[in-house]
Amino acid sequence: GAVVSQHPSWVICKSGTSVKIECRSLDFQATTMFWYRQFPKQSLMLMATSNEGSKATYEQGVEKDKFLINHASLTLSTLTVTSAHPEDSSFYICSARAIGQPQHFGDGTRLSIL
């Protein structure tokens, strides 16, 4: 149980394009989803917290207009990196949890901007 699916697993695109990443909870209702960014050999840095039906809460220093988060249902959240540039290249990983339950992570998306 508690499976989180993240898609795509790898994206390579040109600078200036927008990229959408999906995070789905497959066998539970995720009242909250989290989006993290992880640089090589570093820890997970929380970008934003997303509650179903509400606006996402962004961590300090994370641009809301750059990283658009939508959590329209209890099983799906999306992260859109708008007008991506090389410095946005990173490993993006989502997690999801039901009320009172631990966070479970997706497999992550490796984003490379050329």
Partner 1 sequence: GENVEQHPSTLSVQEGDSAVIKCTYSDSASNYFPWYKQELGKRPQLIIDIRSNVGEKKDQRIAVTLNKTAKHFSLHITETQPEDSAVYFCAASKGSNYKLTFGKGTLLTVNP
Residues sharing a CB contact under 8 Å with residue 107, sequence separation 6 or more, in sequence order? 5, 6, 9, 93
Per-position b or e across 2-18, b if 16+ CB within 10 A of its CB: bebebeeeebeeeeeee
What's the one-letter identity of residue 55? K
User: Contact region for partner 1 (CB under 8 A) — 14-22, 38-46, 62-70, 78-86?
Assistant: 38-46
**Which CB, 17 or 103, lies closer to partner 1?**
103
Beta bridge partners of 101: none
Q: Pick from 108, 109, 111, 113: which binds partner 1 (CB under 8 A)? A: 108
Residue 19: CB minimum distance to partner 1, A:
19
Q: Pick from 97, 109, 111, 113: which binds partner 1 (CB under 8 A)? A: 97
For residue 43, the surrounding DSSP H or E stretch is none
Q: Pick from 26, 29, 73, 107: which binds partner 1 (CB under 8 A)? A: 107
List interacting residues with partner 1 (CB under 8 A): 4, 32, 34, 41-44, 46, 49, 93, 97, 99-108
